[in-house]
Amino acid sequence: MIRAMLEDLVLYGSDHYTSPYVFSAFVTLKEKKVPFRLEVLSLEKKEHERPEYADRTYTGKVPALRHGDFWIAESSAIDEYVEEAFPPPAHPRMYPEDPRERARVRMVQAFLRSDLVPLRQARPTSTFFLGEKPGPMTDAARRRRRGRTGSDVAYRSRFQNRISATSGRTSPFISPTRA
């Protein structure tokens, strides 16, 4: 079994603390109750572009996780690595055990990460966490916000209804079988 020690599990984030991708990895590590250290890089000073970081992470972005001498970048890959490297029962389950439920969680994660880019650009996390004034809503962002049903509320409730009809839960992320 892989054991985590504080000194050998390091999550690299940015010193702005606004990256939703870093949050995803941070929350996974916290939920899994794995001891880790957070190291922050200054994107302004281009610390993520230094060869000792960029070469090891391939992407040169945050987040990245170093586990001993193993490096992995991309928030979804980090989430899944942590889930598999620190499995239940020693650590709480993050992804459902059932393959279909797990696929559904990955579907939602993929949708949020890749399909809402124009909306995230119009309403970056800095407007939420740092109080920055948001710019005007772009047409592309508005279309993403509405989804395909033509209305925000209808889209959200249709999504919510599907999740609860198939799983009996209101959120696709919390598995009833958490160890």
Ligand X SMILES: N[C@@H](CCC(=O)N[C@@H](CS)C(=O)NCC(=O)O)C(=O)O
Cβ nearer to ligand X, comparing 79 with 101: 79
Interface with ligand X, residue 61, by CB under 6 A = yes
Q: Which three-class secondary structure state does DSSP give residue 169?
A: coil
Report, in Å, the least distance between residue 97 CB and ligand X.
Answer: 24
**Relative orientation angle of helices 99-114 and 152-167, to the nearest 10 degrees:** 160
Report, in Å, the least distance between residue 134 CB and ligand X.
Answer: 17
Burial of 153 (C-beta count, 10 Å sphere; 0-12/13-18/19+): exposed
Nearest to 155 by CA among 115, 120, 121, 118: 115
| Of the residues 12, 63, 65, 141, which one makes contact with ligand X according to CB under 6 A | 63
Site string for ligand X, 80-119 (x = CB under 6 A): ----------------------------------------
Span interacting with ligand X, options 13-21, 101-109, 132-140, 145-153, rule CB under 6 A? 13-21
Rounded Cα gap, residues 128 and 19, in angstroms = 11
Rounded Cα gap, residues 178 and 13, in angstroms = 27
Binding residues vs ligand X (CB under 6 A)? 14, 19, 21, 43, 48, 61-63, 74-75
